[in-house]
Amino acid sequence: MIPIIKFVVRNSNYVSWSSSSVTANGAKVLWPSTLTVSFCTNNNDSEKKPSVKKTSKAMKAYLERARKHEEFIKKENLEYQIGKRHLANMMGEDPEFFTQEDVNKAIEYLFPSGLFEPKARPFMKPPEEVYPPQKAAEFDEAGRPYHFLFYTGKANFYKLLYEVVENINNLNKYEDRMIRKHLTPDPTQAMSMIGSQWLPQDVLEHRLVEPLHESQYAAFKLAFDRLVSHPYSYRVRDFIEEYRKPLVNQVALQQIPEPQYDENGRPYVTTTNCLRKRSWAEVTVRGAGSGKISINGQGLDYFAEIQSREQILFPLIMTKQLKNVDVEAKVIGGGPSGQAGAIRWGIAFCLRSFVDKEMIEQMRLAGLLTRDYRKPERKKPGQAGKRKKFTWKKR
């Protein structure tokens, strides 16, 4: 079960936070509607009563579950609406025009969290997004399931695998026929997997309305890979492409900043927040230069190690801009390797404004424009370091 935290705010507190009295009115308008929910659902129940004799126990249980879920979502929705109004009032904004984006901002401001994982931090979202959708009835009034794979527990998932195998078998039969006719598959129509990937696990889960285990997702990929590797797989192109997601060139989508001009008329570009390991850097690249490099006021000899110096020069050598630009960098935190990495990324990012598109693609291929998100492994309690243990003496 996922733990739920309910934040209770006392009236006195929250009056002191926001001075307007509209907030109280807003709450009053919404409160009575909670009572009506139960009446509505009671009415629904009474309508179903005549068919009670025929329905099976499973159907009854399902109807009960569905009703409860609907009720629950309604209640959560109401709470969400009220919460949103309160948040709007607390932030001193109009509750009518308070969007989800504003809610996120307000939550981040009111409940600042130091937790590393963003998904573990507090959030407030509409209940439809938080609670997974539920399946409709999978069996008839007599309790007989509609789906032939109902008793696998994951009917939609196994149905998908079944379809894949059926397709493979059909293609095999087709291939046999073609071999008898001395025909070969058309190479011009061969399936190309470039530019797309299999649906990620969460998207697939959402589409199948079934939670999947990692191994089941792996089985999905394996089965589809087998189907794709069939020489006649292009005959089921539509079926395969339903389960593929196109890839996007993220680097091409990034906006390349136009160079600004300083008092001497030289173009320059600054990249802030260049990060690598525990280092932070701010890099400025100036055009029409002569290859001067200054790091925290020093030259390239700021780094004692040659490897770090090589890293600084890497993007400059690659783009052949070593003698055309000047580099100024401010760097703090971390060690020499991390600092050099941060500056390297900053220089590469700035240089995009000084080179042509082909060279930017080259830099991407060389891995200069990717941010290296790897972090030092954490220290563990009961150990001297991340992996190192304390000295162990038997006695």
Task: Please list every residue from 206 through 265 that binds other proteins, using CB under 8 A.
Answer: 214-215, 217-219, 221-222, 246-250
Residue 361 in the binding site for other proteins (CB under 8 A)? yes
Helix (H) or strand (E) holding 246: strand 244-246
Near other proteins by CB under 8 A, which window of 168-176, 256-264, 338-346, 382-390?
338-346
SS3 360: helix
Q: How far apart are alpha carbons 183 and 108 in whole angstroms?
A: 64
Touching other proteins, residues 177-206 (CB under 8 A): 194-195, 197, 200-201
User: Do 319 and 255 form a contact (C-beta atoms < 8 A)?
Assistant: no
Choosing from 8, 35, 136, 253, the residue that interacts with other proteins (CB under 8 A) is: 8
Contacts (Cβ under 8 Å, ≥6 apart) of 339: 276, 279, 281, 303, 308, 331, 333
State how far Cα 331 lies from the chain centre: 30
SS3 270: strand
Torsion angle of C-alpha atoms 127, 133, 137, 143, degrees rounded to 10: -100
Residue (83 or 145) nearer to other proteins, CB: 83
Residue 335 in the binding site for other proteins (CB under 8 A)? no
Residue (155 or 340) nearer to other proteins, CB: 340
User: Do 69 and 134 form a contact (C-beta atoms < 8 A)?
Assistant: yes
Q: For residue 335, what are its two tokens?
A: 């060690």
Least CB distance to other proteins at residue 77 (A): 10
Touching other proteins, residues 58-77 (CB under 8 A): 76
Residue 10 in the binding site for other proteins (CB under 8 A)? yes
Residue (231 or 336) nearer to other proteins, CB: 336
Residue 35 in the binding site for other proteins (CB under 8 A)? no
Residue (48 or 125) nearer to other proteins, CB: 125
User: Do 86 and 23 form a contact (C-beta atoms < 8 A)?
Assistant: yes
Q: How far apart are alpha carbons 220 and 225 in whole angstroms?
A: 9
Give the count of beta carbons closer than 10 Å to the beta carbon of residue 228. 18
Mask: binding to other proteins, 14-33, rule CB under 8 A, as x and -?
x------------x------
Choosing from 35, 120, 136, 253, the residue that interacts with other proteins (CB under 8 A) is: 120
Touching other proteins, residues 124-163 (CB under 8 A): 124, 127, 130
Residue 337 in the binding site for other proteins (CB under 8 A)? yes
Residue (21 or 51) nearer to other proteins, CB: 21
Touching other proteins, residues 366-385 (CB under 8 A): 366-368, 370-375
